[in-house]
Structures are given as C-alpha cells and as structure tokens.
Amino acid sequence: MQSDDFSNPGMLWVARGEKLWMTPAGGSGKSCATCHTEASQGMKGVATRYPAMDPGSARLVNIEGRINLCRARHQQVEAFQYESEELLALTAYVAHQSRGMPVKIEIDAQNRRHFDRGRDLYNRRIGQMNLSCAQCHDQNWGKKLLTDTISQGHGNAYPIYRLEWQNAGSLHRRFRNCLYGVRAELLPAGSAEFLDLELFLAWRARGLPLETPGVRR
C-alpha cells in the first residue's frame, strides 16, 4: 500500500503540498518556489538532515519548524498551526523529495545538548504505566501489544497516513499517542521535548531510507 503511489493515501497530502509550494503567500508575495525553485532539486536530501540547528536563532527545528520560520522571515505571513492540513501537506511534500535517501544525522557540539536530552527522555520511565520508550521499542519490538506488533519506533516515514486516524499526522502526534498509552502528561506538538526526542530518533534511525509518506496501521 505504501510503495504504490496511487494506493498510498499520503500522496494526497504530497499533492496538496505541491500546490502550496507554488502558491504565493503573505505580504512579500513569494511562494516557496520563488526562492527554492523546483522542490525536486532544491529539497532533495534536505529531510535526511533534519531536525537541525537553525543558525539564526540557535534553536533546534524540524521540517515543520523550518517551514514556519521561512513563512515568518521570508513570506511575512503567520505560521501554520502545528498539525494543520497545510503544514502536514507541505512537510510531506518536502520530505517526500528525499524518499529512498538514508537518514544522515550528525551529532556535534551545537546539537549535543538536545541529543542528550532526547536520549534521556527516550530512556526515562514516565507515566502511570512507568514505561520508557526504550522498554517497548528497544527491548520488546516485534512482540505483541494486544493485537499490534510493537514497532522499532523509527521516525523515518513521517508525516504518515495512519489508518487508525483515517488521516495524515506528524511524528509529534504519534508521540502524543504513545504518551497517552503510558498514561503520561501529554506534551504539545512542536514542544522542545518532542524536538529533542525527534533528534535522538533521527540519529537512532541513521542509515534507514526515508519513506515519506509512510502508511501505518
């Protein structure tokens, strides 16, 4: 279902992202294509390096964050809401350009702090269930949680189309699902903790090919 571009419902979001890429927005009258031209060239391989440090603000940003920074700095238009149809579509379109390329994250002096925090969160027991991410996704992957096979917890196919949601969703929405599952406090999508965790997961998935848009159960 995922590998057939027509059967993959995520391609609807990619197609929508392509339209948004060409659409001028904001006071500047610029579209994404004005600066970046063809996404198939300009955006190829970009998603393999994210989340990355933004030199301007010295903050960690993922593709969603980068799109919103671009909107603020270059298009002078308000940010898309996290998890909005538009942001999902553009993110899927940008990440789709790197499909098949291996995740390539390097940990250096700039992002080391975020990486360490992400790894701590991954290994920390949280919630009423007192479970860490690692206990399911490192120690018990491949086994069953009720009828579901426990995944290895890689984020290389996001944004995904999830059949349970009947909709596309971001990695952070999936994080919130997991937090709900272990009865932990739900963090907002786009929060600093989730970005740190996303960086750790990207490092953990290094070498795996990007699959965006993925289809998951």
Binding site for other proteins (CB under 8 A): 6-7, 9, 11-13, 15-16, 19, 161, 166-167
Compute the least distance from the CB of residue 22 to other proteins, in Å: 14
Between residues 15 and 35, which has the closer beta carbon with respect to other proteins?
15
Strand partners, 59: 54
Give all strands of the β-sheet with 160-162 in edge-to-edge order: 167-169, 160-162, 214-216
Compute the least distance from the CB of residue 157 to other proteins, in Å: 17
CA 85 – CA 56 distance, rounded (Å):
27
The closest alpha carbon to 97, from 153, 185, 38, 180, belongs to 38
Between residues 105 and 160, which has the closer beta carbon with respect to other proteins?
160
How many other C-beta atoms are found inside a 10 Å radius of the C-beta of residue 74? 15
Compute the least distance from the CB of residue 134 to other proteins, in Å: 31
Those residues whose C-beta lies under 8 Å from the C-beta of residue 75, and which sit 6 or more positions away, are: 25, 26, 27, 28, 30
Between residues 52 and 215, which has the closer beta carbon with respect to other proteins?
215
- Indicate if 136 belongs to the active site: no
Residue numbers annotated as active site: 178
